[in-house]
């Protein structure tokens, strides 16, 4: 499992020019799954994401988590995180988990996040348009 974490001032997701979800001040997550991902890995990733100290404290030091700032999360499914570009110029996605299995894990990941923090999502498998204002910029990849 890979999660690309972006600290954002704003983020939104649209499908067919229709706004699906939007957040202010929080985290935009791009989430990808691979073979052998399971609930134990999801629990690890949820804990990492909600406790990741990348928000400024009163001394402008990244020392607060999304929980500490009462932020929100926008979670976007992103199988392309498992693109393999070693051969040729066309990425291979054989390392990405099959869609049906990935959708189940993605839903579980979002449910578990939502137990701690308001978590919104995109539409799994849809052609989504993402807008964001990255704060920092701060972008971190978490992998398990």
Rounded mean pLDDT, 122-142: 96
Q: What is the CATH number of the domain that holds 102?
A: 3.50.80.10
Backbone angles phi, psi at 81, to 5 degrees: -60, -20
**Secondary structure (DSSP) of 112-131:** HHHTTS-EEE--TTS-EEEE
Q: Please write the tens of the pLDDT for every residue from 21-52.
A: 999 999 999 999 999 999 999 999 999 999 99
Contact 122, 75 (CB under 8 A): yes
Which one of the listed residues 34, 80, 138, 139 is annotated catalytic?
A: 80
Domain containing 65 equals 2-143
Q: Domains in the chain: how many in total?
A: 1
pLDDT more than 90, % of the chain: 100
CA distance 55 to 9: 11
- The residues, any chain, with a CB within 8 Å of residue 3's CB and separated by 6 or more, are 29, 30, 31, 32, 45, 48, 49, 141, 142, 143
β-pairing, 18-32 with 72-77? parallel
How do residues 97-123 score in pLDDT, each as one tens digit? Answer: 999 999 999 999 999 999 999 999 999
pTM beyond 0.85: the answer is: yes
Residue 74, pLDDT score = 98
- 138 tagged catalytic: no
Q: Are 23 and 74 in contact (CB under 8 A)?
A: yes
What is the H or E stretch that residue 106 is in?
helix 99-114
Average pLDDT for 72-80: 97
Under 8 Å CB-to-CB from 40, ≥6 apart: which residues?
A: none
Q: What is the pLDDT of residue 36?
A: 95
Q: For the CA atoms of the chain, what is the radius of gyration?
A: 15
Q: Which residues pair with 132 in a beta bridge?
A: 11
């Amino acid at each position: 499992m890979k999660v690309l974490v972006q600290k954002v001032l704003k983020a939104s997701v649209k499908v067919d020019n229709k706004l699906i979800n939007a957040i202010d001040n929080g985290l935009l997550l791009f989430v990808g799954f691979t073979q052998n991902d399971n609930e134990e890995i999801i629990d690890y990733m949820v804990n990492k994401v909600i406790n990741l100290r990348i928000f400024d404290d009163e001394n402008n030091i990244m020392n607060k988590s999304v929980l500490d700032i009462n932020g929100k999360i926008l979670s976007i499914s992103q199988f392309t995180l498992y693109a393999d570009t070693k051969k040729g110029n066309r990425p291979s996605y054989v390392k990405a988990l099959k869609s049906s299995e990935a959708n189940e894990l993605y839903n579980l990941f979002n449910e578990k996040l939502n137990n701690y923090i308001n978590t919104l999502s995109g539409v799994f498998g849809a052609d989504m348009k993402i807008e964001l204002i990255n704060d920092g910029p701060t972008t971190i990849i978490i992998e398990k």
